[in-house]
Amino acid sequence: MLIAAALCFCAAVVSAGFGARALARPEPASGMEQVLRAVAPTQLAAAVMLAVGGVVALSAPPSTGLVVLVVCTLGAVGTVGAGAWQGARYTQLAARRDAAACAGGCATCTLSCR
pTM for the predicted model, two decimal places: 0.77
Residue 36 lies in a domain: yes
Closest CA to 6 of 49, 51, 45, 43: 51
Radius of gyration of the chain (CA): 19
In a domain, residue 58? The reply is: yes
107 assigned to some structural domain: no
- Statement: residue 75 has pLDDT above 70: yes
What is the structure's pLDDT at 81? Answer: 93
Tell me the pLDDT of the chain averaged across its residues.
85
Pick the residue with more confidence: 48 or 99?
48
Helix (H, G, I), strand (E, B) or coil at 113: coil
Which domain does 22 fall in, by range? 2-101
pLDDT recorded at residue 90: 81
pLDDT above 80 (res 61): yes
Check pLDDT > 70 for residue 21: yes
| CA 33 – CA 111 distance, rounded (Å) | 18
